[in-house]
Chain A
Amino acid sequence: MSETTEVTTPGPAGSTTRPMIALEGVSKTYPGQHSPAVEELTLEVPEGAIVMLIGPSGCGKTTTLKMMNRLIEPSTGRIILDGDDVTSVNADQLRRRIGYVIQQVGLFPHMSIGENIGMVPKMLGWDRARIAARVDELLHLVGMEPGQYRDRYPRQLSGGQQQRVGVARGLAADPPVMLMDEPFGAIDPITRERLQDEFLEVQRQVAKTICFVTHDLTEAVKLGDRIAIFGAGGRLRQYDTPDEILTHPADDFVAEFVGGGAAVRRLSLLDLARLQLDEVVVSSGGDPAGRHPVLAVDDAGRPQRWLHVPGQDTPPPLVTVPVGGTVYDAVDEMLNTRAALVLVVDDDGMSRGALRWDALVGDLRAKGRS
């Protein structure tokens, strides 16, 4: 990445991947206030990662986010974007290189969806055809038919659709960095979950460096590659992977913030694909008394029903979960269907193995980490 050793700014020692955003000793004290909103914050956001900023109200997470694009000017410290010190460059020019999505969405009501999305490219001087192509591409990306939505106005869209457009607008000029301030905070829980899934799907395609403010720990665990937990007075208490934060909170504050549900939340971090699943015997009339569950399959090899399950006289009904999910999804399905045994299947419906209820509290083993 940086073959040219242009070490004009002292690079952070010991980091392997270059941080896309780095805050160095950044503080913010608002005029007329004694204590700082953010104090001596040093934070590095690796390229391509989603970093979730979370903490109680007034902890300075939004202030931190807004200092990254200098909507709020830091009182002290330096902001490094992609290796450049941007603490004192032209803030308007800087912001055109950074996507920005807010909770209230803020789509301009007097402009069509297409004009809203095309605003930043227009400011950057793209020609009309390129903007139009980009608008259609982005609407596709966020799952909205361009022909149907391009010329509509924001008020004609639902809240969820508006925020999809908000995300598309943030991505418009293909900025390397996206800042998102509780983008799904004002959306109903069902739509929010769908938007989160879509957001992860979009991120898989665009691979931006994202800073995301939230007050919802579930959202932070679900979306974040790393989580930064802020305490009162804008102090960073812990900055780590979701797994690490849930299993090893740095101090009492973090432990309390993470709360009692940590063990359950961790289930959503365990991908079924990474799990060592129980072996399943595919039977065409083999030994029905073995140690493994026996599955009946059709001609194409797709599971039909259980023939035999160890320790049970009559085999339970077959319940399947997709391998793309997490252990959390599997447990959810088990509780819903009252099944103590679920079959994990791949995209083609073929068996990948079984997951037992008692394995969850016992010998849950991950495959060797890839």
Chain B
Amino acid sequence: MTVPTTATPVAAPAAARRSLPRRSRALLVTPTIVVVTVGLVIVWIRSQDFTAPGRAPEGRALDLGGLLASFGEHVYLVAISTLVVVAISIPLGILLSRPSAGRLGDAVLAFGGFMQALPPFGVIIIMAFSPLGFGAPSAIVALVIASFLPVLTNTVVGLRQVDASYIEAARGMGMSAGMTLRLVELPLAVPVMVAGIRVALVLNVGTATLATFIGAGGLGTPLLSMLKLGRTDAAFAVAALVAALALFVDWLAAVAEQVVRGSGG
């Protein structure tokens, strides 16, 4: 937030307006925080002397090349799981929002709520004992279970909230049900749907740190090893990187959201 200064009264009416420049400026805050955080972490790692006695494990965990590999695994887990969530939840949400689905939509959303309530940590561990076994596929399935609900809910809600008059006008002018969905309902629901995907992405960045427990890698691996060794400052550095990734992903989604909102209603 801005610190109150003498300029505040003058700035207040301008801030009240939802002008684009102001929103664009808000979008600059997150990348700044991300860049500063990552920069600080790198500077801190560089400043450490890992050749000192007993600091070799830290040196291995915080080796920049190794961290980059973990980061890559992390992004891979998040990207694939989110893609799977989108591929499942959006078509399912469309089906459930059709009037012919009736009450089924509510039932499935309730079941989704139940699945979401399962602790992701437990689900990840249980998945390791499924036929998928240890490794990335199990972790991805667990991430999908943990994050599909927001996308599904927002797809259903986004489509249901499209004003009935638009649909009546569309059908009345001779659009088929499919055309109405494609040309009217989906474009009007997209901002809500993108907001759901944004929530799923951020959830996945956090949950993916648990993937290390079943050998699926990610930034959880260096984080966990530092925690085990009681190296608080090193663990904090890795956690800061996870946070920076979450912020960055959230920012990307926010930009996408603004782009769709800008072109949409």
Contacts and interface: CB of A to CB of B under 8 A. Distances in A.
* A and B: interacting chains: yes
Interface of A: 69, 71, 92-97, 100, 102, 104-110, 119-120, 123, 153, 155, 169-170, 179
Given A120-B174, A170-B173, 6 more contacts: A71-B171, A92-B174, A95-B171, A105-B165, A106-B169, A119-B173
8 contacts: A71-B171, A71-B172, A92-B174, A92-B176, A104-B163, A107-B169, A108-B183, A120-B173
A110 B173 contact: no
Q: How large is the interface on B (under 10, 10 to 19, 20 to 34, 35 or more residues)?
A: 20 to 34
A110 B169 contact: no
A172 to B, nearest CB: 8
A102 B165 contact: yes
B44 interface: no
B113 interface: no
Contact of B174 (A93, A106, A153): A93
A106 B171 contact: no
Contacts of B183: 108
A119 B163 CA distance: 18
B174 A94 contact: yes
Interface of B: 163, 165-166, 168-176, 179, 183-184, 187-188, 263-265
Nearest to A115: B183
A106 B265 contact: no
Interface of B is mostly: helix
A108 B171 CA distance: 12
Contacts of B188: 108-110
A108 B169 contact: yes
Contacts of A155: 265
A105 B171 CA distance: 13
B184 A108 contact: yes
Given A110-B263, A110-B264, A169 B173 contact: yes
Chain B CB within 10 A, most for which of A94, A100, A155, A170: A100
Contacts of A97: 174
A30 B12 CA distance: 56
Contacts of A71: 168, 171-172
Contacts of B173: 95-96, 100, 119-120, 123, 169-170
A104 B171 contact: no
B83 to A, nearest CB: 26
Contacts of A120: 173-174
Contacts of A100: 169, 172-173
A95 B179 CA distance: 14
A190 B124 CA distance: 66
A106 B168 contact: yes
In this complex, the member of A95, A96, A110, A120 whose beta carbon has the largest number of chain B beta carbons within 10 angstroms is A110
The interface centre, meaning the residue of B172, B184, B265 with most chain A CB atoms within 10 A of its CB, is B172
Contacts of B166: 106, 108-109
Contacts of A93: 174
B165 A109 contact: no
Contacts of B165: 102, 104-106
B175 to A, nearest CB: 7
A153 B264 CA distance: 10
Contacts of B265: 109-110, 153, 155
